[in-house]
Amino acid sequence: MTAAGIFLTHEVSPRIRRHFRRLRRESGHLVTWHFVHSVDTGPRPRAPFSYEDPAEVMARRYRETVANGGVYGGYLDTLFVPVLRALPADHLWLMEYDVDYSGSWEELFEEFADNEADLLATSVMTKAEQPDWPWWRTAGAPDWVREEQLTRSMDPLMRVSRQLLNTYAVAMADGQWQGIYEYTLATIAVVSGAQVEDLGNQGSFTPPQRRGRIYVGKSPAGTPDDMTFRFRPSRRRYFHEAPDRFQRPHMLYHPVKPGVADLKNPPLEEPSD
């Protein structure tokens, strides 16, 4: 299987570029990485390759994105579907700049080099497993979709197959699909019969051999106190800058925002000098 990916960031700084260089240095033989800069709230980032017009790939979703004021708030799929489809690979990774790993990136991506899942993501849960997820209130689906198929995920780091990307782009032409992409992508994957797996942690989508590994986050069992992968608060230093601040080795961490303002929540650490 071939794998390629984008390192997506809305900020560019020497620290973020060093983070990208470590990712590419340690895992570039497993995943062909590309630095992609989201320059504004629109779905047309700067990429080192050409890609399809987002307005044509998912026309209805694109119109909703414009009405929303941009990709933030759950419309990032309008950006990543055309960008990822431009890469010549079977499996396509999306990694946001605030994801980190407390070890060599090689060991993480080696773990999934032969994995054939169509969707790999974090905190993958059905509605029954996490009924209090706030975004269920905006979730819409065609009448033929069963309640037990409704699924959510968290996607700062995810891998999608080319087949699922194409299936998703076609499915989203149906106006009955409503909600943030972390719901629509996971649920369309489930109802289309795609193979969906959680990268690690605990839960029904995680294979037994990976449970309790890769990261600690929300699961059907609840919200642990020692989460490494969460929505907030953020860390201020990357692993390569301060490895002693990452208490658990060989784990994914999120969010890590070095020098990036996080006004709504205090950081876990004081900023470096």
Quote the pLDDT of residue 260: 87
Which amino acid is it at 147?
E
- Residue 108's nearest CA partner among 195, 213, 7, 197 is 213
- Beta strand 3-9 pairing with 32-37: parallel
Q: Domain ranges in the chain?
A: 3-213
- Distance, CA of 255 to CA of 157 (rounded, Å): 11
Measure the CA angle with vertex 110, ends 224 and 211; round to 5°. Answer: 30
* Helix intervals (H) in the chain: 14-27, 54-57, 59-68, 77-85, 105-111, 162-171, 181-191
DSSP letter, residue 251: B
**Which residues does 2 contact at the CB level (< 8 Å), separation at least 6?**
88, 89, 90, 91
For residue 152, the model assigns a pLDDT of 98
Q: What is the dihedral of CA 59, 123, 190, 38, to 10 degrees?
A: 20
Total length of the chain: 273
Contact 218/61 with Cβ under 8 angstroms?
no
Distance, in Å, from the CA atom of 246 to the CA atom of 111, rounded to the nearest integer, reads 21
pLDDT at 261: 73
pLDDT of residue 262: 60
Torsion 256-262-266-269 (CA) sign: positive
Q: Is 26 helix (H, G, I), strand (E, B) or coil?
A: helix
What confidence tens digit (pLDDT) does each residue in 225-273 have?
999 999 989 999 999 999 999 999 999 999 999 988 764 444 444 333 2
Pairing of strands 3-9, 91-96: parallel
Pick the CATH number of 3-213 from 3.40.50, 3.90.550, 3.30.70, 3.30.420: 3.90.550
Q: Global pTM?
A: 0.94
Per-state percent for the chain, helix, strand, coil, to nearest 5 = 30, 20, 50
Contact 117, 159 (CB under 8 A): yes
> DSSP class of residue 226?
T
Low-confidence residues of the chain: pLDDT under 50? 263-273
Tens of pLDDT along 65-92?
999 999 999 999 999 999 999 999 999 9
Q: What is the pLDDT of residue 270?
A: 36
